[in-house]
Each structure stands twice: as C-alpha cells, then as structure tokens.
C-alpha cells in the first residue's frame, strides 16, 4: 500500500470512530436540511383562504367573487363566504382565513357615483403574506373598476346617454387585469428540500476543511507527523494522505446525504451522473482548500481560525444559507467566485430542468478552475507545514 493511502485509510478510520465527525458530516446536514425544508415549505406552495362578506349582492360584488374564483387564482386562493364583518374578523383572528374582504352594501350602486364605497380587507399581522396577497387582489380589482368608471365617464363626456353608460358599466366584464405569472426557466418547480439538501450537504462538507487542517496540526504537535516523516516516504505523501482522507470522507458524506434526502425527504438532485460529477468537483475544491489552509496556517489555533473564516465566508457568499436569487446583485456576482455557489447553481439547474451533463458543464468547469488555482497555491505553501 502506498504510504499516502495508508495515511488516508488511517485518517478515515479515525474519523469514522469520531462521533463528532459523523454528526458534523452526516447527521447535522440531514437534520438541518429537513428543518429548513420544513421552515420554508410555505414559500414554495402558497395557498390561502380568503373570507368574503358580500353585503352588496350586486354586479360589482359578483365581479369580484368571479375574479377570486377565476382559474388564474384557483391554486392560490380559496374563497369562503362569511356572514358578517364580525364572523370574518373572528375567522382571520383564529387563523381559519388568511385574510378577508368586506364588500359593503350598496357597493355596486356606488360605483357609478362620484364617491364610490371602499372595499375593506381584514388582515392578521401574523400572516403578512396572506395580507399582502389579499390586499393586492383587492387593489387590482379596484383599479379595474376605476378604469371602467373612467371609460364610462369618457363615453358620457363624449355625448353618450347616461343610461347607456350605466348599462355599459353593468355589462362590463369585471375581471382582474393581466397578471404576471412567475415561472423559472426550468420545466420543474424547485422544491425547498432540493435546494437545502445539497446546500446543507455542501455547508457541512466545508467543515472538512477545519476538521482535516486541525487534525494535521494536532498530529504535528504530538509528533505523529515527524514519526511518519522518519519512514521512507516523500514528505508530500504525508500531505497527500491527509487531504485524500478529506476527499474520501467528503464523497462518503455527500453520497449518504444525497441518498437520504432523496429517498426519505423527496429531494431532487437531478441526473445522478451529472450530480455525481458536480459533487466530485465540489469535494475536490474542498480538498484543495484544506491543503491551502494547512499551508497558510502555522499552528493549530491558526488553522482553526483560518478554516472557520473559509467555511463561513464560502457558505455566506455561496448561498448556503439563503437563496442567492433573493440577494442583491453584488452578492449574486460574489457567489460565482465560490465553488459552492457554482455547485448550488448546478444542483438547482439539475433539479429544475431535468437536464444532464450539459447543464452542469459550466459549474463543473468553474469549480475545477477554483480547485486548480487553490491547489497550485497549496502545492507551494503546504510543504512548509512539514518543516520543523
């Protein structure tokens, strides 16, 4: 067995016996991914119940109800009739309805007057999403009515008889204006677990950097590295063995997390071959970063500090905690300087497009460029760590 393989095998054996390594490498990412998936599940399938108090029963009220029950909103809103403002208020307060709309008595008739009656929305501060959506729907409807009123007023000013204008309003097809429909360029919707599964797997994979670097300096302080160097092997075999163990542990960790999140939580990692190659590239990047930290640090404490900085810096920039797409443009650009940012982009594309290798070609290339640059720096700096 090549000395580097012996060193890697020994390290992997030690890590598999180390409960904290198992927790950090496998248990924690699974638990956190599951929790984050639960926490953000609402963001991927928003649906709300809106209570409607119809005290008007006129054509304008019918138009609003028709709009709320239109095919465009049926996946988003369920309309529940309420008898009075009091019952609607109670339903919103109890959480049975996300929000409510009060259509006042005489609303239809008031539309043709100079001072029309307002629609009222009841909202709950504990459900701001429902409040915003309901208000938005009500405002859109009111804007439509106002546009119709303007049309009628314009026709009346142009000499049309008042009755004819009123009839025109009656017949107006009240509906919400053209709406925007959000849709990713991929064919499939991205499930939260499909983002946070890979995201947390990568985040905890980054901890391999601190784990391995720390272990190297502990062994150096305890004389184990020196003892290895007294054996007939080349010094770089020691370094290679150490980072090889990080590579193996990273692959094992990612594979287990991918399998569990797929089969237990329904995550979609996309095409297995493409996801596998992407993961391989990401683990290589982590391995190279580990070697660089060993090269830059001089002591165990320095290794811990530098690796913590690297782990959290990469995780924050790369989007392991929040969707990069909701961050400011500068953060989105910075994410593309990190291997984990590219990896997450790759996993997301795989999950939403159903594509294969072609989809992850660019992310893999970007990660490998990062790896090459970091590995080159590490090959210059890391051998210093072996010098007493």
Q: Which residues, including other chains, have CB under 8 Å from residue 87's CB and lie 6 or more apart?
A: 51, 53
Among the listed ranges 100-108, 152-160, 229-237, 361-369, the one in contact with another protein (CB under 8 A) is 229-237
* The only residue of 113, 153, 226, 326 in contact with another protein, by rule CB under 8 A: 226
User: Binding another protein by CB under 8 A: which of 28, 32, 233, 277?
Assistant: 233
Pairing of β 99-103 and β 77-82: unpaired
- The residues near 383 (Cβ < 8 Å, ≥ 6 apart) are 235, 236, 239, 295
Nearer residue to another protein within complex by CB, 13 or 41: 13
- For the CB of residue 238, give the shortest distance to another protein in the complex, in Å: 9
In the complex with another protein, the residue whose CB is nearer, 12 or 201, is 12
CB of 9 to another protein, least distance (A): 8
DSSP line for 257-289: HHHHHHHHH-----SHHHHHHHHHHHHHHHHHH
Go through 44-64 and write b for each residue having 16 or more CB atoms within 10 A of its CB, e for each that does not: eeeebbbbbbbebebbbbebb
Interaction of residue 229 with another protein, rule CB under 8 A:
yes
Stretch that binds another protein, among 13-21, 25-33, 141-149, 203-211 (CB under 8 A): 13-21
Residue 222 found at the interface with another protein (CB under 8 A): yes
- Quick check: 236 binds another protein (CB under 8 A)? no
- Of 230, 263, 328, 330, the one binding another protein (CB under 8 A) is 230
Stretch that binds another protein, among 97-105, 181-189, 231-239, 300-308 (CB under 8 A): 231-239
Q: In what order do the strands lie in the sheet with 99-103?
A: 77-82, 48-54, 99-103, 120-123
388 binding another protein? (CB under 8 A): yes
Question: Does residue number 248 form part of the binding site for another protein (CB under 8 A)?
Answer: no
Which DSSP state fits 240? H
23 binds another protein (CB under 8 A): no
Residue 4 beta carbon to another protein: minimum distance, rounded to whole angstroms: 10
CB of 292 to another protein, least distance (A): 25
Please work out the total of residues on this chain that contact another protein, with binding judged by CB under 8 A: 22
Residue 14 sits in the site that holds another protein (CB under 8 A): yes
Q: Please name the residue ranges forming H helices in the chain.
A: 3-17, 19-22, 28-39, 41-44, 59-68, 85-94, 107-111, 128-157, 162-171, 192-221, 224-229, 235-265, 272-296, 300-318, 329-335, 339-353, 357-381
Q: Site for another protein (CB under 8 A): which residue of 13, 57, 189, 384?
A: 13
- The closest of 340, 341, 40 to 192, measured between CA atoms, is 40
φ, ψ of residue 57 to 5 degrees: the values are 60, 20
Under the criterion CB under 8 A, does residue 3 sit at the interface with another protein? yes
Residue 20 engages another protein in binding (rule: CB under 8 A): no
Contact pick of 169, 205, 228, 293 for another protein (by CB under 8 A): 228
Residue 82's SS3 state is strand
Give the binding range for another protein (CB under 8 A) out of 98-106, 218-226, 247-255, 260-268: 218-226
Which of the stretches 8-16, 75-83, 106-114, 333-341 binds another protein when contact is defined by CB under 8 A? 8-16
**Nearest CA among 364, 314, 373 for reference residue 343:** 364
- Of 81, 223, 272, 313, the residue at the interface with another protein (CB under 8 A) is 223
- Within 8 A by CB and 6+ apart from 175, the residues are 63, 66, 67, 70, 144
**Residues making contact with another protein (CB under 8 A):** 1, 3, 6-7, 10, 13-14, 17-18, 222-224, 226-234, 388
């Amino acid at each position: 067995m090549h000395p580097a393989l012996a060193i890697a095998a020994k390290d992997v054996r030690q890590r598999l016996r180390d409960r904290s390594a198992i927790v950090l490498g496998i248990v924690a990412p699974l638990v956190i991914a599951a929790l984050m998936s639960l926490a953000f599940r609402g963001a991927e399938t928003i649906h709300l119940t809106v209570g409607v108090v119809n005290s008007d029963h006129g054509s304008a009220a019918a138009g609003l109800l028709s709009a709320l029950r239109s095919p465009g909103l049926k996946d988003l809103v369920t309309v529940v009739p309420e008898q009075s403002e009091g019952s609607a208020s109670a339903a919103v307060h109890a959480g049975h309805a996300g929000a409510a709309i009060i259509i006042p008595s005489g609303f239809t008739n008031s539309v043709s007057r100079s001072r029309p009656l307002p629609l009222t929305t009841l909202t709950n501060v504990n459900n701001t999403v429902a409040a915003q959506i309901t208000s938005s729907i009500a405002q859109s409807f009111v804007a439509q009515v106002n546009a119709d009123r303007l049309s009628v007023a314009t026709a009346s000013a142009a000499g049309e008889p008042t009755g004819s204008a009123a009839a025109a309003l009656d017949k107006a097809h009240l509906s919400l204006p053209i709406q925007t429909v959000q849709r990713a360029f991929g064919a499939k919707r991205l499930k939260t677990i499909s983002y946070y599964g890979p995201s947390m797997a990568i985040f905890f994979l980054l901890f391999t950097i601190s784990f391995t670097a720390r272990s190297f300096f502990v062994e150096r302080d305890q004389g184990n590295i020196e003892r290895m160097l007294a054996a007939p092997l080349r010094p770089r075999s020691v370094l290679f063995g150490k980072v090889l163990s990080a590579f193996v542990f990273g692959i094992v960790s990612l594979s287990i997390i991918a399998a569990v999140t797929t089969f237990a939580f329904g995550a979609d990692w996309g095409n297995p071959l493409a996801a596998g190659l992407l993961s391989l590239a990401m683990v290589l990047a982590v391995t190279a970063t580990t070697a660089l930290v060993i090269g830059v640090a001089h002591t165990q404490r320095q290794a811990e500090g530098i690796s913590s900085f690297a782990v959290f810096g990469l995780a924050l920039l790369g989007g392991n905690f929040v969707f990069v797409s909701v961050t400011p443009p500068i953060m989105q650009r910075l994410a593309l300087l990190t291997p984990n940012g590219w990896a997450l982009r790759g996993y997301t594309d795989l999950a939403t497009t159903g594509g294969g290798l072609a989809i992850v070609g660019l992310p893999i290339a970007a990660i490998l460029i990062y790896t090459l640059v970091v590995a080159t720096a590490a090959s210059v700096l890391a051998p210093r760590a072996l010098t007493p």
